[in-house]
Amino acid sequence: MKKILFCLLFMGFLLTSCDEIEENQSSKTDDTEQQTAITGEDILNVIASEIKNIFK
Amino acid sequence: MKRFFILTCFIMMFVFTGISTNAEETISYPFDSVTITSAYKFNVEINEIPNESSFLNGHVEAGEMVTIYVGQLKYMYDGAEVLASESIIIVTNEAGTDIARWLINSYTVTENGFNAYYSSHITIDPTVGVVKTVDDNAYSAGIIEENSVYQFVDNQDTAYQMVDGSFVVEDNLNIVISAYEGVE
Q: Is the pLDDT of residue B20 over 60?
A: no
Query: Positive or negative CA dihedral for B15, B20, B21, B27?
Result: positive
B13 close to A (CB below 8 A): yes
ipTM strictly over 0.85? no
Residue type, B18: G
* Distance, CA of B38 to CA of B57 (rounded, Å): 29
Q: SS3 of B24, please?
A: helix
Alpha-carbon distance of B149 to B165, in angstroms, equals: 11
C-alpha torsion sign, points B159, B164, B166, B167? positive
pLDDT digits (tens, 9 = 90+) for B40-62: 999 999 999 999 999 999 999 99
Rounded to whole angstroms, how far apart are CA atoms B164 and B108? 24
pTM (2 d.p.): 0.71
Residue B98 domain-assigned? yes
Could you tell me if residue B7 is inside a domain?
Answer: no
Q: What is the mean pLDDT of residues B131-138?
A: 78
Tell me whether residue B77 is in a domain: yes
Q: Are B170 and B39 in contact (CB under 8 A)?
A: yes
Does B12 fall in a domain? Answer: no
Q: pLDDT for B84-125, tens place per residue?
A: 678 999 999 999 999 999 999 899 999 999 999 999 988 887
Indicate whether B184 belongs to any domain.
no
Written as one letter, the residue type at B61 is: E
Residue B29 has pLDDT above 70, yes or no: no
Q: Averaged over B151-162, what is the pLDDT?
A: 96
What does the pLDDT look like over A1-56, one tens digit per residue? 666 666 666 666 666 665 555 555 555 445 544 445 678 888 899 999 999 999 98
State residue B41's pLDDT score: 98
Higher pLDDT: B126 or A1? It is B126
Q: Between chains, do B12 and A13 touch, taking CB under 8 Å as contact?
A: yes
Nearest chain A residue (CA) to B72? A51
B123 part of a folded domain: yes
- Mean pLDDT along residues B115-137: 82
Instruction: Judge whether B80 lies within some domain.
Output: yes
Q: How confident is the model at residue B5 (pLDDT cuts 50, 70, 90)?
A: low
Q: Is B25 inside a domain boundary? A: no
B127 touching A (Cβ < 8 Å): yes
Nearest by CB: A51 against B20, B24, B71? B71
Per-residue pLDDT, B7: 59
Number of domains in chain B: 1
Domain that holds residue B153: 33-178
Which H or E run includes B170?
Answer: strand B168-170
